[in-house]
Amino acid sequence: MALNLDIQLKRSNKVYREGDTIAGVVIIDTPTDIKHEGVFMTIEGTVDLQISTQNVGAFDAFYNSVKPVQLMMCSLEIARAGRFPSGTTEIPFEAPVIPLLNKVLYESYHGVFINVQYLLKAVIKRNFLNKDIHKTLEFVVENTPCLNVLSSKVDKFVINQNTLANVNDSSIIPKFHIVGSIDSVLCSIMQPFTGEVKIEHSDIPIKSIDVQLVRVETCGCAEGFSKDATEIQNIQIAEGNVSTGISIPIYMIFPRLFSCSTTKTANFKIEFEVNISVIFVDDHLVTENFPITLYR
């Protein structure tokens, strides 16, 4: 049986806010007595940025990855050099969740070109004949919830053959008329995205109606900015030829880690959009786009 190292936090959900104290124990499980040169804990937060190959080319993107932005760094010596007895040893630790000077703790976020990540890294130092033992655990940082409820009016929309953009020959487009509404484009990330869509008329049958959540990531680099939109999730709200005149509800939960509060900084931006897509049986697709602002 080998030496096992684990990190356990007091908060089971691993969610913290700026000013909180992150506390837990480092657990060492060993079948025999072992000698060590100390146990160290590093708590760090970084923003990793990657330039899209679509914007600058694969070769350039490899060398021009934007330098990571360090948000938080704390190093602790939680056990001095000595010996661990056989069995299980627990070493407590705690540290404040605070940013570096002139930095801001952005919300945890896992994207395609931008990652905001907060990690606990524990290491047991060994002598030169043995490898150091490492363990990493991610924890989540969220903004303090907004006490003032931000209001936004209902956003109504109409989609028909006359509202379409990027159409070469409008004469071949069948006639259809779709109406709907979005309850708010200023959205609390803790509440569902809601609205409704109604098919009032369509010359050809409908195959599917989807709601798509899209991330729009903008990264800064020496040559300029790289902006990319990628899908987070796609939810089908209707299948088959929908009856006309029936209101179809839109209900979507924002996924944890893959979405966060809308963030705009000097080096990067994380924004979000929602697409309402109607697919006809001939596989023609019409989409209505809604830029949304997320807050906590």
Q: What value does the mean pLDDT take over residues 167-177? A: 75
Location of each CATH 2.60.40.640 domain in the chain: 4-141, 155-294
> How many CB atoms sit inside 10 A of residue 163's CB?
12
Note whether 181 and 154 are within 8 A (CB).
Answer: yes
Name the more confident of 208 and 60.
208
* CATH fold for domain 155-294: Immunoglobulin-like (2.60.40)
| Degrees, nearest 5: CA angle 45-135-13 | 60
The CATH class given to the 4-141 domain equals mainly beta
The secondary structure of 168-212, three-state, reads: CCHHHCCCEEEEEEECCCEEECCCCEEEEEEEEEECCCEEEEEEE
Q: What is the pTM of this model?
A: 0.88
Interval 247-288: pLDDT, tens: 999 999 999 999 999 999 988 999 999 999 999 898 888 888
Distance of CA 120 to the CA centre of its chain: 19
Average pLDDT, the chain: 88
Residue 18: CA atoms inside 13 Å, Cβ hemisphere, count? 15
Distances 289 to 1, 201, 268 between C-alpha atoms, Å: 56, 21, 22
- For residue 284, give the 3-state DSSP assignment: coil
Interval 98-127: pLDDT, tens: 999 999 999 999 999 999 999 999 999 988
84 pLDDT more than 70: yes
> How many CB atoms sit inside 10 A of residue 119's CB?
14
